[in-house]
Amino acid sequence: MARRLHPLLLALTLLVLPAAVAADQKSPALDGLFQRLKTAASPAEAKPIENAIWDLWHHKGVEAVDHTMALGIVAASQGDLRRSLDYFDRVVRAAPDFAEGWNKRATVYYMMGDYTASVEDIRRTLALEPRHFGALSGMGLIYDALGDAEAAVKVWEKALEIHPHMETIRNRIRELRSGAKGNPT
């Protein structure tokens, strides 16, 4: 049976890769980008900054790893999750210090419904890049899917501290809080 993908997850999964450059979560450019992201005046101003962060995160700067990463993203976008998982397994084996490899594999596990494996990979991602708002967003999606609204809100609030213009998350937090207020305890 086909699973309906959450729009936020789909948007994170279908990012287009630019030409490979040496980067990843260790890029010195990230500090300035995160500062600009935090102080952006609007979602429209934040979007190109967010894209620049993703561009850096998506590249290890090792041709074989970057190529395998791209193949995994294409396979996931085509719905071939088993093949995508195989590619991301190769990425994390070849580059265990590459946060986005772990994050992409976590995304595929989420799409496959394996929340336990997804959480493990999200934790690896966050250990390597604590500012990874995409991984935090994914963790919130898992908590939300499991019905733990309090945990989802908590992790999404951390994501919003890093990237305050994620409107889909902000709206979902409002929905969860309004639902909690409407339920007698």
State residue 71's pLDDT score: 97
- Positions of CATH 1.25.40.10 in the chain: 60-114
C-alpha span between 111 and 118 (Å, rounded): 9
Query: Which pLDDT score, from 0 to 100, does residue 27 have?
Result: 87
Cα separation of 173 and 171, whole Å?
5
CATH architecture group of domain 28-57+131-185: Alpha Horseshoe (1.25)
Is the pTM higher than 0.95?
Answer: no
60-114 CATH fold: 1.25.40
Which residue in 165, 158, 109, 170 sits closest to 130, CA to CA? 158
pLDDT tens digit at each of 185 positions of the chain: 334 444 444 444 433 333 334 567 888 899 999 999 999 999 999 999 999 999 999 989 899 999 999 999 999 999 999 999 999 999 999 999 999 999 999 999 999 999 999 999 999 999 999 999 999 999 999 999 999 999 999 999 999 999 999 999 999 999 999 986 555 43
